[in-house]
Amino acid sequence: MFIESRKLEMLHKIPVVKTEKYWKGLEEGKVYKAVCKNCGEEYYPPRAECLCGGEVEWAEVEGEGVVEAFTTVHTIPAGFEWHKKPYTITIARFGNVRVMGWAENVKVGDRIRIKTDKDETGVWKVYFEVV
């Protein structure tokens, strides 16, 4: 037995002071990773500081990646109701980092290129295209 409650609506507010370049990069068609100036560790999603305590710098994720995993979402989660059909989220390796993005018709091992675009709600996201 259930008692119907209020519909819950959430809006994520993400602090971007140290990661603003990443978010601006998406608008310029660029996807950035963070690289530690001290130990060389690479991070995606980017981190504002390295685990070693070193300062990080930005580097663009470029070239071709390889699809390592993907999942197609059939039960559309809250916040994505605008997406009327199932969609596929893909994880691809670009050198030392794995990047998550949206893609269609992918399979493990596919070579892909990274790009950015706005979705139907105006949010910039990472997409992959099979090469």
Contact positions vs Zn ion (CB under 5 A):
36, 38-39, 41, 50, 52, 54
What sections of 7-106 are H helices per DSSP? 20-27
Could you tell me if 76 and 120 are in contact, meaning their C-beta atoms sit under 8 angstroms apart?
no
Identity of the residue, 46 or 101, whose beta carbon is nearer to Zn ion in the bound complex: 46
Identity of the residue, 42 or 110, whose beta carbon is nearer to Zn ion in the bound complex: 42
Could you tell me if 90 and 128 are in contact, meaning their C-beta atoms sit under 8 angstroms apart?
yes
Tell me the closest approach of the beta carbon of residue 73 to Zn ion, in angstroms. Answer: 34
What distance in Å separates the CA atoms of residue 79 and residue 75, rounded to the nearest whole number? 12
Q: Which amino acid is at 1?
A: M
Identity of the residue, 57 or 68, whose beta carbon is nearer to Zn ion in the bound complex: 57
Tell me the closest approach of the beta carbon of residue 50 to Zn ion, in angstroms. Answer: 3
Tell me the closest approach of the beta carbon of residue 35 to Zn ion, in angstroms. Answer: 9
